[in-house]
Structure 1
Amino acid sequence: MRRIGILIILVTVLSSCKSEHPKDFLTFSGTIENSKDSVMTILGEGFKKSIKIAKDGSFNDTLHVPEAKLHNMFSPNNGKGIVFLKNGFHLKLTSKASSFFKSFKYIGDDEGADSNNLFVSRFNFGQTSGSVEGFMILEKEAFLNKVNYFRKGMDSISDLYSNANKTMVKDSDDQNENFFKKLEDNYDVMHAQILAQKISEEKLKKGNKAPDFSDYENYKGGTSSLSDFKGNYVYIDIWATWCKPCIAQIPYLKILEEEYKDKNISFVSISTDDDRRSNGSWEKARNKWTSMVKRKNLTGIQLWAGKDDARFSREYMIRSIPRFILIDPKGNIVDSNAKSPANPILKEILNTLPGI
């Protein structure tokens, strides 16, 4: 009887010794074909790890992550990607430097491999959708069909990786559904905006009539309109006194104006200084313009858009300055987004203009 008791105790002790505690680390190894880097970095919330990459593209390291979640991967010349890390994983990756994250393939069908292969597959499938604008420009029925196609596609990918981490899959599902729902909720507004933008872009194509401007104050007196320059090429510089990149172009613009002073081209600078940056005062905005023209001894034709600035910017789709526009002698667009004075290519373009 005593021997049986000792045997039971011994079996219990041995069983306890064999029970495994959850691992507080994971291993991450693999190969990056034709790697251009000797190190890659993995970043997460409260976590950072640099992993050495051998000359043959192989790597092998042990990581301790605070919690199971997606982490960012950065390799300066290879590219960037995302990896789902969880202590206890034994990840083995194969990839190509030329396509980096798109080519990620994790070996095996355990939780670690399935979780990451699922995420890569969803990413690659999502890349085939094109831009958000490509969705929103579609008519309603085609738009809804496309959204449902990608919604079902994302779901079907999950079925291929049954061992993937359930929490990660749910988070990914929720994010995808929120994205699709946001597209659907904002379709009407965004469709109208993108359609209007496409129409405006079409109007600004080469050969189309340039949007007009009329009666802009001329620093030398009176007013000027685009029609005043008919018969000449017109190179328009859109700028403002507060815009440092605009100011940086001034020396180059002066050189151009001097070199082409006997040519069939007018250099017109239009200031977009407005009341918003002048404490609500149009008078102060105008004074800033006249002061800088005088102080910088600006040459060429200096105009101020004044209260027509908003319409002018809308017509020419000006979202940032400086912006340069080239118009032909008939008032048609040559380039609605022309090269800057500092760009040597501009002279080459100007010199090839017929009749300049």
Structure 2
Amino acid sequence: MKKIFLLLLFTATGLLAQDKMKFAAKVQNRNSDSITIRSRTFNKVMVADAKGNFKDSFSVEPGLYELNDGREVATLYLKNGYDLSMTLDTKMFDETIAYKGKGEKENNFLAKKYLAIEVVGEKVMAGGDNASLKADVEKVFKDLEAKLQDKGLDENFKTLMMKQLPMEKADLIGFLEKGEKLAKLNGQKSPSFAYENFKGGTTSLDDLKGKYVYIDVWATWCGPCRQEIPHLQKVEKDYHGKNIEFVSLSIDTKKDYQKWRKMVTDKSLGGIQLFADKDWNSDFTQAYFVDSIPRFILIDPQGNVVSADAARPSDPALRQQLDKLLK
């Protein structure tokens, strides 16, 4: 009877252990004394011990989680029953992430996946021969798909990755294809516009012929757009009196029309402030394949496209380009 009781006790203890997972992290050059593991429905803050290490156990639903150390993020795959140890050095965050213990295969796959995508993504952003870049992208994802055939990987994890990888690949290929389209616009006659001017009436691109035109496509709700405003104002001031006009084209929806007018007033926005007629679907933004903002466009005095995807005001490359054009 005693043996049966002990057997039942050990069995129950084992089941309880499976209701949780263990996670430990050894972080060199920590950005913070705490790390957070979270998802849409989960949030766990872990505080470093006296030696600067993190360790805890908790219950999770199997799936993908974000680890945040206060500055950088990593993606984890967690499930109850895992006993996972993580090591990393924040000075080389993505390059040094490694895992040991139960759950290491899935999480080492994630670490290598995001590093590989980051590396090829940087090559894509830098530009170059599109055919060669597409081949690089194809190779990265072919290698990742091959690694997913490992029979030791959790089946739910494999299902998640097989859904995720095609979308990530499509994003990079889409970026390359968009770049090809934009490159074809350079040197061509620019699509035109005629939109409401904040100061009254309408202003068209034809009205600005004879000058370079630097266009900022933005919206009042766009955080990155607002971050560029002080830089744009400084550029406008520094190039005042030069042969260039600065146009800010809002693609706010009609319901936010008054917000646009208020922001132009409150922020003392200069240049030529225009309001597009059909927000994202305006003919001008469609012609330039605008699918994210802020977006900057540079047009020459003859109405030809200098750059369909020009440097931002915060980028020193813009001033270098303008200095050459306006000398």
User: TM-score, length-normalised on structure 1?
Assistant: 0.58
> Which among 226, 238, 254 is matched to residue 277 of structure 1?
254
Letter aligned with residue 159 of structure 2:
D
- Structure 1: which 5+ runs fail to align? 1-11, 108-112, 280-284
Query: 1:352 matched to which residue of 2?
Result: 323
> Which among 82, 88, 91 is matched to residue 98 of structure 1?
91
1:317 is displaced (CA, Å) by 3.4
Task: Tell me how far apart the structure 2 counterparts of residues 70 and 102 of structure 1 sit (CA, whole Å).
Answer: 20
Query: 2:127 matched to which residue of 1?
Result: none
> Which among 161, 169, 184 is matched to residue 176 of structure 1?
161
> Which among 301, 316, 335 is matched to residue 288 of structure 2?
316
1:52 is displaced (CA, Å) by 2.4
Q: Against the structure 1 CA distance between its residues 331 and 291, is the aligned structure 2 distance closer, same or farther, given a 3 Å change threshold?
A: same
1:118 is displaced (CA, Å) by 0.8
Q: Quick check: 24-33 or 304-313, which moved more? A: 304-313
Query: 2:104 matched to which residue of 1?
Result: 117
Q: Conserved in 1, the CA contact under 8 Å of 2:99 and 2:107? A: no
Task: Tell me how far apart the structure 2 counterparts of residues 297 and 101 of structure 1 sit (CA, whole Å).
Answer: 42
Q: Does 1:213 align with 2:192?
A: yes
User: TM-score, length-normalised on structure 2?
Assistant: 0.61
Letter aligned with residue 277 of structure 1:
K
> Which among 29, 35, 43 is matched to residue 40 of structure 1?
35
- Structure 2: which 5+ runs fail to align? 125-129
Deviations 1:8-49 (A, max 9, x none): xxxx52464366133434554452233332222334686544
Deviations 1:54-102 (A, max 9, x none): 36432344x2426666654332146434152425x55444333334566
SS of equivalent to 1:352: helix
Q: How does 1:1-356 map to 2 (within 5 A)?
A: 12-14=1-3, 16-17=5-6, 20-21=10-11, 22-23=13-14, 24-25=16-17, 27-43=22-38, 48-54=43-49, 56-61=51-56, 63-65=57-59, 71-77=65-71, 79-87=73-81, 90-100=83-93, 103-107=96-100, 113-114=101-102, 116-127=103-114, 128=116, 130=120, 149-155=143-149, 158-159=150-151, 162=152, 169-179=154-164, 197-203=178-184, 208-209=187-188, 211-213=190-192, 225-226=205-206, 229-230=209-210, 232-238=211-217, 256=236, 263-267=241-245, 269=247, 277=254, 310-319=282-291, 323-329=295-301, 331=303, 333-335=305-307, 336-340=309-313, 352-353=323-324, 355-356=326-327
Q: Conserved in 2, the CA contact under 8 Å of 1:234 and 1:266? A: yes
1:170 is displaced (CA, Å) by 1.0
Q: Quick check: 237-246 or 30-39, which moved more? A: 237-246
Q: Against the structure 1 CA distance between its residues 180 and 354, is the aligned structure 2 distance closer, same or farther, given a 3 Å change threshold?
A: closer
Task: Tell me how far apart the structure 1 counterparts of residues 54 and 311 of structure 2 sit (CA, whole Å).
Answer: 48
SS of equivalent to 1:201: helix
1:266 is displaced (CA, Å) by 3.9
Letter aligned with residue 323 of structure 2:
T
SS of equivalent to 2:36: strand
Task: Tell me how far apart the structure 2 counterparts of residues 182 and 351 of structure 1 sit (CA, whole Å).
Answer: 37
Q: Against the structure 1 CA distance between its residues 267 and 346, is the aligned structure 2 distance closer, same or farther, given a 3 Å change threshold?
A: farther
Q: Conserved in 2, the CA contact under 8 Å of 1:327 and 1:334? A: yes
1:233 is displaced (CA, Å) by 3.2
Q: Conserved in 1, the CA contact under 8 Å of 2:214 and 2:297? A: yes
Q: How large is the Cα RMSD of the aligned pairs?
A: 5.5
Letter aligned with residue 247 of structure 2:
S
1:122 is displaced (CA, Å) by 1.8
| Aligned residues with identical type, % of pairs | 22
Letter aligned with residue 282 of structure 2:
A
Deviations 1:159-199 (A, max 9, x none): 4xx4x6xxxx1101222334467799x89xx97x6675233
Q: Against the structure 1 CA distance between its residues 326 and 33, is the aligned structure 2 distance closer, same or farther, given a 3 Å change threshold?
A: same
Q: Against the structure 1 CA distance between its residues 313 and 171, is the aligned structure 2 distance closer, same or farther, given a 3 Å change threshold?
A: same
Q: Against the structure 1 CA distance between its residues 138 and 182, is the aligned structure 2 distance closer, same or farther, given a 3 Å change threshold?
A: farther
Task: Tell me how far apart the structure 1 counterparts of residues 38 and 263 of structure 2 sit (CA, whole Å).
Answer: 48
SS of equivalent to 2:91: coil
Q: State the number of aligned residues.
A: 305
Q: Which protein has the larger Cα radius of gyration, Structure 1 or Structure 2?
A: 1
Task: Tell me how far apart the structure 2 counterparts of residues 333 and 253 of structure 1 sit (CA, whole Å).
Answer: 23
